[in-house]
Structure 1
Amino acid sequence: MLFPFLCSLVFFYSNVVVCIQYNFLRHIECDNTSNYTSNSTFSTNLAQALNTLQSSTATTGFNTTTAGNLIEPVTALALCRGSSSPSTCQSCIAEASSGIRSSCPSQKSAQVWYDLCMVRYSSTNFISKPNNNIVFFVHWEAPVATSDLDSYSQRVEYLLRNLSSTAVSSEKRYAVGRTELLNLTGYGYVDCTRDISSEDCRTCLVSAMEATKGCCLTKPVSWMLTPTCNFQFNTDPAHLDWLNAPLVKYEWEAAVAPSTVGSGGGNCLAIKFLLGGAVLTVILVIGVLWVVVAKARKRGKVKTDSSGNAEEMWKKECIGTRPFLYDLDQLAVATNQFSPSNRLGRGGFGTVYKD
């Protein structure tokens, strides 16, 4: 891989995986727009803020603090990887606090990322103010070795979108998982700093997802950082929490609409109903049109025939006889003045007499 992420050595023996975990400095951001001196009030406040982070972050894995109040204040934040133990978290924060001061010895604003934690400080208060600017990303240059890169990238995107949705609704604002990638297994991790809202976390992760789509969905390794969220993917279980991470099952139905992660089954059912209704409607319309056209043709035929000889029309209709018309006097004579003795019966259209 591009570099060892967390586990530099993995042993497989008797179905037991042993991972030796290291904590390396991965990226440092030093803002050179404003500086301080070693003996200044800001330096003293910075030391106090970092000491607070070291002593109070491990329990929950996250902490913010402000030192100095109105005089050269320092706002600081620390975040550990969501699955880190308190002892691992405290050790990482201590190392990061030392590292950020040595890497940015005079800058009033800086941020540092290690494998297992992140520390940030500034002379301005940034708490609860999301920053979605991508400050660092790394990926393996060559695409993954597979014959179906489209399917691979769809599955990677589905995994990361699923984890993003989980992280947004999580109290700790992080999610870890794995998924099957054809002949490989993919591992993902996302998190947000816990000072921002769920919606701000979602926005940050969506922004990182879009950037990932533009460069890295076909890669075996990618890692993208912003000041408030973190996006990681690897085809190797380089972190301890990836070894037994929850399996995220790839669902084609859900992947059709990635903006609604986790609701693929319901979407598919709704689509089936809509398609079925559309097909039925088309069939009904065609049937109605066929009946209307057939009746119109029949009316057209009768009209054409009626314009000719009436007797010929009757013959065509198999009546075979010429219709006769009688006046009232003829009918009276024929029925003996409508005598009851000549009556044959009565129906819905009147009385019937014999001649």
Structure 2
Amino acid sequence: MLMKMSMILLLFLSMLSSLSLITSNETGEFLDIICPNTNTFTSDTGWHSPSTDSFQSNLNKVLNTLTSPAAHDTGFYNITAGLNSTEKAYGLFLCQGYVSADVCKDCVTAASIMAAQRCPSRINVIVWYDYCMLRYSNESLSTLCESPIVNWRNTQNATEWNRFNQVLGESMNEVVTEATVTANKFATKQANISRFLSVYSLAQCTWDLSAVDCNRCLKLAVALLPSCCEGSVGGRVLMPSCNIRFEIYPFYLQNATSAPATAPKALPPPAPKGTN
């Protein structure tokens, strides 16, 4: 009886924590930002004609499109700007499949602001929030990328770990399989550990990955769980091309509308801005 009461209390506290996060911050919690200082670009401060092809001007076009309202209907968008191969800018965002278009837009906008503040003049940037990921680079982003890797662990420890680990492993295998074959590369699952306790799992890839590459990325992420999160009631692995998470509360908002299982719409590049 004492063990059952402890599990109920643990679940209640976890759900309160999740509810507080959801209602207090529409973008979700900021998780991490990575921008190596080995590659930078020079600030574009001089006069340029409309035909000038610089990385900064192309990056501005990319970010303007990624933060525009029309880009967030599906939860994923990627874009390339520039004609000169040496100055092209590539960008994408991926929002969690359970958030609305408005939440997606708010999160991507916050991520772009964070990137400008924390990584000025950096060429390769990746930002993670609870509800979205934003990337940009001078190289194509539409290929499988398995690093950098960010791990997060829930500080609460699980009881009956052997049973928990068994159910979690089965649940993760199922969401990986489902995410690999669905159009929006996203899947969730609730699995019962006991009468009073469930584990909620999520797996997601960027939409531009093939089924083979999505499966490879997610399986690598799952393989990393023991080293980062063994014994915990929750954890996540974030990679540029995919992410996974598990908790003992429904963190993925079961009543929310998932991203439509259709291909993302193509948006035209923004019109060139006037020059002085």
TM-score range, shorter chain: 0.7 to 0.9
1:10: Cα distance to partner? 3.5
Q: Deviations over 1:202-232 (max 9, x none)?
A: 0001111111133424311101111100011
Q: Deviations over 1:222-276 (max 9, x none)?
A: 011111000111113334238999xxxxxxxxxxxxxxxxxxxxxxxxxxxxxxx
Q: Does 1:69 pair with 2:83?
A: yes
1:74: Cα distance to partner? 0.5
Cα distance in structure 2, aligned partners of 1:94 and 1:65 = 16
Give the corresponding residue for 1:173.
185
1:7: Cα distance to partner? 7.4
Counterpart secondary structure, 1:57: helix
2:145 to 111, 131, 136: 131
1:80: Cα distance to partner? 0.9
Choose between structure 1 and 2: higher helix proportion. 1
Structure 2: tracts of 5 or more residues without a match? 1-9, 46-53, 259-276
Q: Does 1:214 pair with 2:227?
A: yes
Question: How well do the aligned residues superpose, as a CA RMSD in angstroms?
Answer: 2.7
Counterpart secondary structure, 1:187: strand
Query: What letter matches 1:223 in structure 2?
Result: R
Greater Cα shift, 229-238 or 202-211 = 229-238
Query: What letter matches 1:20 in structure 2?
Result: T
Give the corresponding residue for 2:263.
none
1:9: Cα distance to partner? 6.0
Cα distance in structure 2, aligned partners of 1:134 and 1:37 = 25
1:134/1:73 CA distance change after superposition, 3 Å: closer
Choose between structure 1 and 2: higher strand proportion. 1
Q: Which has the larger radius of gyration?
A: 1
| Matching of residues 308-323 of structure 1 within 5 Å | none
Query: What letter matches 2:253 in structure 1?
Result: L
1:25 to 30, 37, 43: 30
Cα distance in structure 2, aligned partners of 1:101 and 1:112 = 11
Cα distance in structure 2, aligned partners of 1:30 and 1:115 = 18
1:133: Cα distance to partner? 2.8
Q: Deviations over 1:290-320 (max 9, x none)?
A: xxxxxxxxxxxxxxxxxxxxxxxxxxxxxxx
Q: Deviations over 1:83-112 (max 9, x none)?
A: 221111112111111211212112100100
Cα distance in structure 2, aligned partners of 1:73 and 1:213 = 39
1:36 to 37, 41, 56: 41
| Matching of residues 1-355 of structure 1 within 5 Å | 8=17, 10=19, 20=23, 22=25, 23-39=28-44, 41-55=54-68, 56-70=70-84, 72-127=87-142, 129-141=143-155, 143-144=157-158, 146=159, 148-182=160-194, 183-241=196-254
Cα distance in structure 1, aligned partners of 2:255 and 2:230 = 19
1:188: Cα distance to partner? 1.3
Cα distance in structure 2, aligned partners of 1:121 and 1:184 = 40
Taking structure 2 as the reference length, the TM-score comes to: 0.77
Do 1:187 and 1:242's aligned partners in 2 also have CA atoms closer than 8 Å? no
Do 1:8 and 1:20's aligned partners in 2 also have CA atoms closer than 8 Å? no
1:151/1:134 CA distance change after superposition, 3 Å: farther
Query: What letter matches 2:88 in structure 1?
Result: P
Counterpart secondary structure, 2:146: coil
Do 1:61 and 1:81's aligned partners in 2 also have CA atoms closer than 8 Å? yes
Counterpart secondary structure, 1:31: coil
Do 1:138 and 1:224's aligned partners in 2 also have CA atoms closer than 8 Å? yes
Cα distance in structure 1, aligned partners of 2:97 and 2:30 = 18
- Choose between structure 1 and 2 for higher RCO, CA contacts under 8 A separated by at least 6 residues: 2
Give the corresponding residue for 1:266.
none
Do 2:119 and 2:125's aligned partners in 1 also have CA atoms closer than 8 Å? yes
Counterpart secondary structure, 2:178: helix
- Equivalent pairs counted in the alignment come to 234
1:6: Cα distance to partner? 10
Counterpart secondary structure, 1:189: strand
Cα distance in structure 2, aligned partners of 1:105 and 1:211 = 31
1:32: Cα distance to partner? 1.5
Taking structure 1 as the reference length, the TM-score comes to: 0.61
Greater Cα shift, 28-37 or 181-190 = 181-190
Counterpart secondary structure, 1:83: coil
Cα distance in structure 2, aligned partners of 1:241 and 1:124 = 36
Do 1:193 and 1:228's aligned partners in 2 also have CA atoms closer than 8 Å? yes
Identity of aligned residues (%): 29
Counterpart secondary structure, 2:174: helix
